[in-house]
Amino acid sequence: MTVMPQETAPVVLITGGAKRVGAAIARQLHQVGARVMLHYRASATAAEALAAELNQQRPHSAACVQADLLETARLPEMIHHTLNCFGRLDGLVNNASSFFPTALGNITEADWHDLIGSNLKAPLFLSQAAAPYLRAAGGAIVGLIDIHAERPMPGHVVYNLAKAGHAQLIRTLAIELAPQVRVNGVAPGANVWPEGESVFSDPVRQRIEDSIPLQRVGTPEDLAKTVAFLLFDAPYITGQIIAVDGGRSIHLP
């Protein structure tokens, strides 16, 4: 993507944009010229610091919006806040995600509400709220999926279901929103390890890392570059999910 003048720069809303992969996506999109709206739930300090960093590079190019994505009725407010700040919406990145194990026999409705809510329900209703503005702009949606949407991870029943549902949402929206809006997904493999996730002990992590053909764990920047490509440099790609996993998925059963 050619860097555009500020007044015509595309605007992208990134859920979970304050930290980790979301922050890398925000920096990458900003680097190629986009203006970014950083959604956060509780990470206000990180979101505000990142917005300040980006605005120092290019004034009035980043802003923040707070919302709990499980509060579906509030999701249109995020879209309206973005429009009020920047006057347009060209892209939506459904990045925010809950992740924790749910072994069969111990699954609760609270687990279902959290994992399905953040990984599937919120992307659906946020995409629905954004759709009229993305159609007007000829924009795009990118969802962060997971290679385990196709090859289930043991002990993570609800997470697997949620990501599989998000993958199907990508394909469905690509049909529903065509031809004005393209909709694609990025499926990470081993990337930044989850915070506070005990299931990935050191031996498990080492076994996963040893199975990657490219012989390294992915980085947030690997994902961010693919997101930027799908948003801005892939005018004839829609309904696709690209695995950014160093080839790990070809080893999974």
Residue range 202-225, pLDDT digits in tens: 676 777 777 788 888 889 999 999
Q: Which of residues 148 and 65 earns the better pLDDT score? A: 65
For residues 242 and 185, give the distance between their C-alpha atoms in angstroms, rounded to a whole number: 6
Q: Residue 133 catalytic?
A: no
23 with 31: CB under 8 angstroms? no
Q: Please tell me which of 106-110, 150-154, 245-249 the model is most confident about, judged by mean pLDDT.
A: 106-110
| Residue 196 confidence (pLDDT) | 56
Query: Percent of the chain at pLDDT above 70?
Result: 91
From the candidates 40, 133, 159, 236, give the one annotated as an active-site residue. 159
* Phi, psi torsion values for 147, nearest 5 degrees: -60, -20
60 with 6: CB under 8 angstroms? yes
Q: Helix axis angle, 220-232 relative to 20-31, nearest 10°?
A: 50
User: Which residues are bridge partners to 91 per DSSP?
Assistant: 12, 140
Residue 190: pLDDT band (50, 70, 90) is confident
Q: Helix axis angle, 44-57 relative to 20-31, nearest 10°?
A: 10
| Residue 162 confidence (pLDDT) | 97
Q: Please report, for the chain, the start and end positions of each structural domain, with discontinuous segments joined by +.
A: 6-244
Q: Does domain 6-244 have CATH number 1.10.565.10?
A: no
| Residue 111 confidence (pLDDT) | 97
Taking residues 41-48, report their average pLDDT. 96
Instruction: List, edge to edge, every strand of the sheet that includes 182-188.
Output: 62-66, 35-40, 11-14, 91-94, 140-144, 182-188, 241-244
pLDDT surpasses 60 at 242: yes
Q: What six digits make up the tokens of 30?
A: 């900003």
pLDDT surpasses 60 at 4: no
Q: What is the pTM of this model?
A: 0.93
Name 26's Cβ contacts closer than 8 Å, sequence gap at least 6: 14, 17, 36, 38, 50, 54, 62
Taking residues 23-43, report their average pLDDT. 97
